[in-house]
Amino acid sequence: MNFQLTREQALTKKMVEKFCEEVVAPTADDMDVAHEFPVDIVKQMGELGMMGIMWPKEYGGAGGDYVQYCEVIERLTAAHAAVGTVVAAHTSLCSGPIYYYGTEEQKQEWLVPLAKGERLGAFGLTEADAGSDSGATQTTAVDMGDHWLINGSKIFITNAGYADTFCITAMTDKKKGTRGGISFFIIDKDDPGFSTGAEEDKLGIRCSSTRELIFEDCKIPKDRLIGQVGQGFKIAMGTLEKARIGVAAQGVGVAQGAFEITKEYMGQRKQFGKTINKFQYPAFTMAELYTRIEAARLLVMRAADLADKGLPCGTQSAMAKFYASEIAMDMATKGVQFHGGYGFINDYSIQRYFRDAKIMEIYEGTSEIQKLIVSGAILR
Amino acid sequence: MKAIVCVKQVPDTSGVVAVKADGTMDRAAMATITNHDDLAAVEAALELKDQTDCKVIVVSMGPPPAEGMLRELLAMGVDETYLVSAREFGGSDTYATSQIIAAAVNKIGVDADDVVFCGRQAIDGDTAQVGPQIAEKLGLPQVTYAAEITDNGDSLTVKRLLEDGHMMIKVNKPCLITCVKELNDPRYMHVARIQDCYEMPLTIFDYEALKNEPLIDPDTIGLLGSPTNVYKSFSPPPKGEAVMLEGADRATVDKLTGILADKHLI
Q: Please report the ipTM that was assigned to this predicted complex.
A: 0.92
Task: Tell me how close the Cα of B145 comes to any Cα of chain A, in angstroms.
Answer: 25
pLDDT at A197 over 80: yes
What is the C-alpha to C-alpha distance for residues B248 and B63, in angstroms, rounded to an integer? 52
Q: Do A11 and B189 touch (CB under 8 A)?
A: yes
Active site residue A364: yes
Q: Do B191 and A53 touch (CB under 8 A)?
A: yes
What is the C-alpha to C-alpha distance for residues A51 and A43, in angstroms, rounded to an integer? 9
- Residue B233 has a pLDDT of 76
What is the C-alpha to C-alpha distance for residues B224 and B81, in angstroms, rounded to an integer? 28
- B59-86 as b/e, with b when 16 or more CB fall inside 10 Å? bbbbbeebbebbbbbbbbbbbbbbbbbb
Name the band, by pLDDT with cuts 50, 70 and 90, for residue A364.
Answer: very high
Task: Tell me how close the Cα of B178 comes to any Cα of chain A, in angstroms.
Answer: 25
In this complex, which of B71, B191, B197 lies closest to A49 when CB atoms are compared? B191
What is the C-alpha to C-alpha distance for residues B43 and B151, in angstroms, rounded to an integer? 14
Which chain B residue lies closest to A15 (C-alpha atoms)?
A: B189
Q: Contact at 8 Å (CB) between A168 and A185?
A: yes
Q: Do B191 and A62 touch (CB under 8 A)?
A: yes
Q: Contact at 8 Å (CB) between A61 and A52?
A: yes
- Residue B24 has a pLDDT of 72
Q: Contact at 8 Å (CB) between A110 and A165?
A: yes
CATH class (in words) of the domain with range B2-225: alpha beta
pLDDT at A63 over 90: yes
Task: Please report the domains of chain A, with CATH numbers, ordered by start residue.
Answer: 7-115 (1.10.540.10), 121-233 (2.40.110.10), 243-378 (1.20.140.10)
pLDDT at A1 over 90: no
What is the C-alpha to C-alpha distance for residues B132 and A40, in angstroms, rounded to an integer? 39
What is the C-alpha to C-alpha distance for residues A364 and A158, in angstroms, rounded to an integer? 11
Between chain A and chain B, the number of residue pairs with CB atoms below 8 A apart is 49
Q: Contact at 8 Å (CB) between B7 and B59?
A: yes
Q: Do B188 and A19 touch (CB under 8 A)?
A: yes
Q: Do B192 and A7 touch (CB under 8 A)?
A: no
Residues of A in contact with B72 (CB under 8 A): 11, 14
What is the C-alpha to C-alpha distance for residues A178 and A158, in angstroms, rounded to an integer? 23
Q: Do A15 and B194 touch (CB under 8 A)?
A: yes
Which chain A residue lies closest to B194 (C-alpha atoms)?
A: A8
pLDDT at B226 over 80: yes
Number of Cβ within 10 Å of residue A178's Cβ equals 17
Please give the share of chain A, as a percent, with pLDDT higher than 90.
96
User: Residue B171 phi/psi, 5° resolution?
Assistant: -135, 135
Mean pLDDT score across all residues of chain B: 91
pLDDT at A27 over 80: yes
Q: Which amino acid is at A19?
A: F
What tens digit of pLDDT does each residue of B65-119 get? 999 999 999 999 999 999 999 999 888 888 989 999 999 999 999 999 999 999 9
A62 touches chain B (CB under 8 A): yes
Task: Tell me how close the Cα of B50 comes to any Cα of chain A, in angstroms.
Answer: 14
- Residue B124 has a pLDDT of 78
- Residue A214 has a pLDDT of 98
What is the C-alpha to C-alpha distance for residues A116 and A110, in angstroms, rounded to an integer? 11
What is the C-alpha to C-alpha distance for residues A338 and A276, in angstroms, rounded to an integer? 8
Mutation for testing the A interface, residue in B36, B46, B72, B191 having most A CBs under 10 Å: B191
Pairing of strands A182-188, A225-226: antiparallel
Which chain A residue lies closest to B69 (C-alpha atoms)?
A: A11
Who contacts A2 (Cβ-Cβ below 8 Å, separation ≥6)?
Answer: none
What is the C-alpha to C-alpha distance for residues B194 and B71, in angstroms, rounded to an integer? 8
Name the band, by pLDDT with cuts 50, 70 and 90, for residue B199.
Answer: very high
Q: Contact at 8 Å (CB) between A276 and A266?
A: yes
- Residue A46 has a pLDDT of 97
Q: Do A49 and B190 touch (CB under 8 A)?
A: yes
In this complex, which of A7, A18, A64 lies closest to B191 when CB atoms are compared? A64
Taking alpha carbons only, the member of B180, B189, B210 closest to residue B100 is B210
Element (DSSP H or E) covering residue B202:
strand B202-205
Task: Tell me how close the Cα of B171 comes to any Cα of chain A, in angstroms.
Answer: 33
Mean pLDDT score across all residues of chain A: 97
Pairing of strands B80-84, B202-205: parallel
Q: Average pLDDT in the A314-342 region?
A: 98
Cβ-in-10-Å burial (0-12, 13-18, 19+) of A144 comes to exposed
- Residue B216 has a pLDDT of 87
CA A148 from centre of chain = 29
A11 touches chain B (CB under 8 A): yes
B74 touches chain A (CB under 8 A): no
CA B208 from centre of chain = 25
B197 touches chain A (CB under 8 A): yes
B198 touches chain A (CB under 8 A): yes
Which chain A residue lies closest to B76 (C-alpha atoms)?
A: A48
Tell me the three-class secondary structure of chain A, residue by residue. CCCCCCHHHHHHHHHHHHHHHHHHHHHHHHHHHHCCCCHHHHHHHHHCCCCCCCCCHHHCCCCCCHHHHHHHHHHHHHHCHHHHHHHHHHHHHHHHHHHHHCCHHHHHHHHHHHHCCCCCEEEECCECCECCCCCCCCCEEEECCCEEEEEEEEEEEECCCCCCEEEEEEECCCCCCHHHHEEEEEEECCCCCEEECCCCCCCCCCCCCEEEEEEEEEEEEHHHEECCCCCHHHHHHHHHHHHHHHHHHHHHHHHHHHHHHHHHHHHHCEECCEEHHHCHHHHHHHHHHHHHHHHHHHHHHHHHHHHHCCCCCHHHHHHHHHHHHHHHHHHHHHHHHHHHHHHHCCCCCHHHHHHHHHHHCCCCCCHHHHHHHHHHHHCC
Residues of B in contact with A12 (CB under 8 A): 191, 194
Structural domain spans, chain B: 2-225
Say which of A74, A127, A241, A364 is annotated catalytic: A364
What is the C-alpha to C-alpha distance for residues A82 and A89, in angstroms, rounded to an integer? 11
pLDDT at A380 over 90: no
Q: Which amino acid is at A120?
A: L
Q: In whole angstroms, how far apart are CA A377 and each of A135, A314, A316, A363, A366?
A: 20, 9, 10, 21, 17
Residues of B in contact with A55 (CB under 8 A): none
What pTM was estimated for this model as a whole?
A: 0.91
A7 touches chain B (CB under 8 A): yes
A64 touches chain B (CB under 8 A): yes
Q: Do A18 and B188 touch (CB under 8 A)?
A: yes
What is the C-alpha to C-alpha distance for residues B231 and A115, in angstroms, rounded to an integer? 55
Mutation for testing the A interface, residue in B74, B195, B196, B199 having most A CBs under 10 Å: B195
Task: Tell me how close the Cα of B47 comes to any Cα of chain A, in angstroms.
Answer: 15
Q: Which of residues 167-196 of B touch A (CB under 8 A)?
A: 188-195
Name the band, by pLDDT with cuts 50, 70 and 90, for residue A255.
Answer: very high
pLDDT at A91 over 80: yes
Name the band, by pLDDT with cuts 50, 70 and 90, for residue B19.
Answer: confident
DSSP state, residue B19: B
**DSSP letters along B24-83, please?**
SB-GGGS-EEE-HHHHHHHHHHHHHHHHH--EEEEEEES-GGGHHHHHHHHHHT--EEEE
Number of Cβ within 10 Å of residue A247's Cβ equals 30
